[in-house]
Amino acid sequence: MKRHIAWILAVGLVMWGALPSWLTADENAQMAVQELCPVMEENPIDPSIYIDYQGKRVYFCCMLCKATFEKEPETYLAKLPQLSVDPEAPDAEPAHDHLVDHGAPDEPSRLLTFMGKFHPVAIHIPIALVLVAALAELLAMMTRNGTFEKVSRFNINVAVLGAAVSVGLGLLAGMSADFPGDYARPFWLHKWIGITMAVFIAVAAVLSELACRRGGSRCRWGYRAVLLLCVALVGAAGYFGGQLVYGLNHYAW
């Protein structure tokens, strides 16, 4: 009896140890079959970027290709070996994919999703305004010309409005975005650095107004310090935004 129990336990341990391999066998097989992105056909896939379509896992090289595929998947099916159909086989209905056929549960409304698509367009407005404000302030320091201070003040004030709109559209875009695996961290950083950037742009605008109306060097230098921080935050947010669109290895040398 004890020998039988020992055999059962041994077999159970072997099966338990092999379970992860069984669970990932199909995924690894699909990765071996698909080596190139179906959208940008010359690019190798990134294993962390994928969707499940018609019961099969489809991999992409970047999030941009993933979004392109989701809009018109039929255009790229012929380029996917795991979804290819034998021409001699009788016609069969495609497997039911609940996410594709019925849409994701709790997804935002179509209007909000559409508005979120304008985030990449709107974000360039505050970026340009902050950089111009910083350049004008630098010229004001070098030339002691008050005109450049006025240019800097105007640009940072308009940048507040642009940043508010851009962050709002970015939050709407994030509601319908899906960044799995390794992309979750860049998405989180891009989101909160962007929000922080908008807050400090507003702080810079307030300090600029105080420096203009009250005078004195304390508010002026405070404005310059916060403005420099805004420039750094613009670069950091753009860095992680680029990773989300073009892939984690986009900046690789």
Domains, the chain, with CATH or none? 2-107 (no CATH), 111-246 (1.20.120)
197 class by beta-carbon count within 10 Å (0-12 exposed, 13-18 middle, 19+ buried): buried
Q: Is the pLDDT of residue 3 over 60?
A: no
Q: Is the pLDDT of residue 16 over 60?
A: no
Report which of residues 250 and 19 the model is more confident about. 250
Contact 73, 38 (CB under 8 A): no
Q: What angle do CA 102, 108, 112 make, to 5 degrees?
A: 130
Three-state DSSP state, 251 = coil
Give percent above pLDDT 90 in the chain.
38
Min mean pLDDT across 23-37, 85-99, 184-198 is at: 85-99
Q: Please report, as a single letter, which amino acid is at residue 233.
A: L
| Helices first, then strands: H and E counts in the chain | 9, 2
In a 13 Å sphere around the CA of 13, the CA atoms on its Cβ side amount to 6
CA distance 86 to 107: 35
Q: Is the pLDDT of residue 201 over 50?
A: yes
pLDDT at 63: 81
Q: Which residue in 162, 109, 100 sits closest to 132, CA to CA?
A: 162
DSSP state at residue 183 = G
pLDDT at 152: 95
